[in-house]
Structure 1
Amino acid sequence: MRCPYCGSTNTQVKDSRPSEDHTTIRRRRVCADCGGRFTTFERVQLRELTVIKRSGRRMPFDRDKLMRSVQIA
């Protein structure tokens, strides 16, 4: 995370907890270079996985298909 005061990427998380609505994580951070304190709110961004076949065709990831293949192997 980049410090908003000095631009340094050398920051440490001092406190982390879920927000009141439990959709984000609130983190208190401290810059190791300038000592500035700031808060970030982080949210999980779920993406759909895509499998690219040898032919170049794209298909959505199927977890059950993977588990069946592992059990057969």
Structure 2
Amino acid sequence: MTTAERLRAEGYAEGYAEGAAWVLLELAVAKFGTLSAETVHRVRSADTDERETWALRVLTASTIDEVFVPD
């Protein structure tokens, strides 16, 4: 893999992760209202797999705390 390919792949992965955080935060705000700074930080510092799991949970959760229950 060339340096350019590696940088492109890293950029794609970073963009995907930021997009996943944005979607999760937007869905959570739409459903639960204003989020705490702690919740926003938790979402932004999570890995992509966690964010994807949480985004699906937003659909069925009754509270924001239900989104973050451990598996």
| Greater share of residues in helix | 2
Give the greater-gyration-radius structure (CA): 1
| Greater share of residues in strand | 1
TM above 0.5: no
* TM-score interval, normalised by the smaller of the two chains: under 0.3
If the length of structure 2 is used for normalisation, what is the TM-score?
0.25
